[in-house]
Each structure stands twice: as C-alpha cells, then as structure tokens.
Structure 1
Amino acid sequence: MSRLTILKISFRSAGVENVIYPVIISDGNEFILIDCGYPACLPILQQAATDNGIDLSQLTKVIITHHDFDHMGALAGLKRTYPNSKVLASAQEERYISGKQKSLRLEQAEAIYDTLPEDRKQAAKQFQRVLEEVETAEVDQTLNDGDIFPWCGGIEIIATPGHMPGHISIYHIESKTLIAGDALVAENGELAIANPQYTIDMMGAKKSIKKLLDYEIDTLICYHGGIVTREIKAALQKISTD
C-alpha cells in the first residue's frame, strides 16, 4: 500500500508570499518527490516533510514536471544533500533542467523586456536575474508520454504540453490521483488553466486538459492551489472547450 503526502510550502519570493504543493508518493521501496520548490527553499521543504512524519533522507527519486524556477529551483541543493536520489524529467525538459539550453522562461522574460513600461522594467530585470541564477542539475532518467512504472501502486507519465513544451503530469494509478504541476491551477477550490501570461502555448494547454478526460480522476493536485476533489471531469470539459 502506498502513501501520498501533499506538502504545503509557504515561501516569500520577490516580496510576494507564495504557497506551493509538492507531493511525495512512497511505499516500502520507493520514495518519490514531485517538484521541489523555489531556490533556497530546501530547508522549508525539509521541515514540511518532517512535520508530516517524513524523512527526506529516504528519497529515491525526484520527478520535475517542468523547468520553471519554482518547480526545480531547489533541485541542485536537494541532489547534493541526498545524492542517492535520481532526478527524472521529460526528454524535452531535460535540456533546460541540466543547463544545456537557456530557460524558456528567461527567453520569454528577455523578449518582452523592451515592450514594458519604464515603471515595470526594474522588477522585470530583477526577475531575469532570479532566473539566471537558478542552479541546474543533471537529469538521471528521461520520461516519455505514456510511460508506466510499478512504483508506489503504479505511476503513469502524461505529457501535458502548453505551459511549457515538455510539461508532464503524473497519474497515481492506485489512488486515481492526478498531480497536475502547472497544467492546471486551483483558485478557491475551482480548477482553471494556468496563468496565460506564463503559458507558452495556450491552445496546446487546452488540448492537454482535454486529454486528461480519458483518466478516472478522484483527486487532482495543483502545484498552485492544492487539492480539488469535486466535479473534476465537468471542470476539465469546461476548461478544454472555453
């Protein structure tokens, strides 16, 4: 029998209080963390795990849904602290997580900089510096759409491009739980598509949401917004057709 633990992490970034929800799936053999938070938030992640009766030294795998800094920012420090853990990500995202290619989010920030009004440029430049300073980490195993692993009662990898081209979501078969990363957000308990400002391909994002209708989902966990358990299929249908 596996255990699914949702960590609530509060973290202040650029003067704004943010709450994120990394997930740990574990059984007697595997201990898998899905996404790991902002740069420098490793101590907060460790404390949240401890508060939930979890020892991160047992970590076997870290799955990164995509390379945004709030999802992989703590990855390099996590890997140094727990060197026996393996880093997993989609084949498309591996190049950015490992630093082989410049972050698409940084490219996006640089591209819009000159179009911004003067009163927003200082904050925009600060955001660019944050992205530039994110420490990269080697990916040990690449994942593809439809991969199914026996870990922790069964895990299926679902390619959900849109927010980022290589974005993945993780379906926990045993509990019928979808860990959506940034494919979706929860706002006051209601599902919505991720922030359009940070979605690279909105049409692709909606196609990804439509794809999720093929799964029986009892619980959906958004990295931003947390747990949704009510009327999931109806919400997915509405989002994918709006």
Structure 2
Amino acid sequence: MKILELPIEFEFNGQKNTIYPSLIISNNELTLVDTGYTNFLTLIENEILKNGYEIKNLKNIIITHYDDDHIGSLYDFKEKYHWINIIASDIESKYISGEMKSERLVQAEELLDNMSNEEIEFGKWFINQLKNLKHVAIDKKVRDGDMILHNKCRVIATPGHTSGHISLYFPSIKSVITGDAAVNENHDLVIANPSFCLDIERAEQSLKKIKNLKAEHYYCYHGGKFTL
C-alpha cells in the first residue's frame, strides 16, 4: 500500500493555488480522497494518468467533509464512473446527499449579515457556490474507529472544521491523510482556516489527536505532505 499526493494547481482571484487530493494505491485498487472544486475532474484525472495509473481501477472516493473545495467534482466523478463507491462519515453524508442543509451554508448565510461592503460580494459568491453543489448519495457511511480498505485504513473522527470531518490513518505505513484537520504551514501541522472552523476547540482537540498518532507522514490537503 502507498499514498500519492496529487498536486492540483489552479488560479483563484488572480493568485496561484495548489490543493493536494490523495490517491491510495492498494493491490492495483485506487481510492481517491476528496475531489477538488467543481470542474476539477479533468485536472485530477490527468494527474492520476500522469503517475501511470488507470481510472478504470478507481474503486472508491472518500470525502473527508462537506466543503466546496473537497466535494466540488464528486458528482462528476460518480456520473462518469458510476461503479465508484462513495465513502463519508455518517454526519457529513447528510449534507453530501442533500438530506440536510449543510453546516457550511448555514454558517455562510449567518456571516453575511455582519460583513462589510467590501466582503459582502465574496460572501454572496461563496453562498452561491455552496448552493450550486450537486448532491450525491453515499454508498458507505463510516464512524470513528471503523476499519476500511481491506482493514488497512482506520477512520479517525476529527471534528471542528466541520462536525463530521474525518481523517484517515494507515498503521502499516505510519501515515495520516488529514483533510482539513491539519495543514502543512511553515513546516508545522496547524489548524486549517481557524476562522472557518465551526468549533475551534474541537478543531484543536482533533489536531492533537492526529499528532498523537505519531505517524511519520501527514498528507495535508492544503500545504502538501508533512514528514517528521
């Protein structure tokens, strides 16, 4: 088993950005963790192919949490590759499937009332982004401690950024895929976007939780791979 980070470069507000979805390779079976923004399917496909892997072997997509930069292209993947098994936490599944209004959309709408004139345009754009996300049914709902991917991956509940956020721990290769429970910033693991965290105290506890796993490699969606 190995984990490959997929650097996806894009431009936002005139600035260059990079996100790092992860590709898990196990006995020629591929699992993608998070799917980037809307219309990122081709970018991720190209990165997988560039590394010598075939999309026909993509068996699963794991979603760490409901945010537009993590689930934006999920619907497109499922439409194009209908056999893919979609995995998410039982909490986040309710938002991804459209069963409940997402926490992030509720937060964005509440924040809009207190925004300055300079911020309000972005706030409205962000709300529109969230409202335009297409819902996808979840095939497998997971909870803290569940073993998945042929018992090689343990689901770690890491709430705070969102209430149902999960990270993934791989004991055999001493690695963690953090989602937004941690970012690699200035060669350190820190909380992702504290101002966006729905519960900063729980986010701090979750960061401590994955640090206490004492893994050698942390694959961060923002900032890329962090190696102790």
Give the TM-score normalised by structure 1.
0.90
Secondary structure, counterpart of 1:119 in structure 2? helix
Name segments (4+ residues, structure 1) moved above 6 Å: none
Gaps of 5+ in 2: none
Residue 225 of structure 2 aligns with which residue? 227
1:148-227 superposed matches below 5 A: 148-149=147-148, 151=150, 154-227=152-225
Q: Percent same amino acid among aligned pairs?
A: 38
Matched letter for residue 193 of structure 1: I
Question: What's the C-alpha RMSD, in Å, of the aligned pairs?
Answer: 1.5
Residue 85 of structure 1 aligns with which residue? 84
Moved more, 74-83 or 190-199: 190-199
Q: 1-side partners of 2:123 and 2:211: how far apart?
A: 37
Residue 119 of structure 1 aligns with which residue? 118
User: What whole-Å deviation, never above 9, does each CA across 1:94-144 have from its counterpart, x for those lacking one?
Assistant: 000111111211111110112111122112111111111111211000001
CA contact (8 A) 2:190 2:207 kept: no
Secondary structure, counterpart of 2:173 in structure 1? coil
CA contact (8 A) 1:40 1:73 kept: yes
Matched letter for residue 79 of structure 2: R
Moved more, 85-94 or 128-137: 128-137
Q: How many residues are matched?
A: 228
Secondary structure, counterpart of 1:65 in structure 2? coil
Residue 11 of structure 2 aligns with which residue? 12
CA contact (8 A) 2:75 2:134 kept: yes
Matched letter for residue 157 of structure 2: A
Q: 1:123 to 1:15 in 2, by over 3 A?
A: farther
Q: 2-side partners of 1:96 and 1:13: how far apart?
A: 25
Matched letter for residue 155 of structure 1: C
Q: 2-side partners of 1:214 and 1:57: how far apart?
A: 36
CA contact (8 A) 1:189 1:227 kept: no
1:22-41 superposed matches below 5 A: 22-28=21-27, 30-41=29-40
Secondary structure, counterpart of 2:113 in structure 1? helix
Gaps of 5+ in 1: 231-242
Shift of 1:213: 4.2
Matched letter for residue 202 of structure 2: G
Residue 20 of structure 2 aligns with which residue? 21
Give the TM-score normalised by structure 2.
0.95
Q: 1:172 to 1:215 in 2, by over 3 A?
A: same
CA contact (8 A) 1:21 1:224 kept: yes
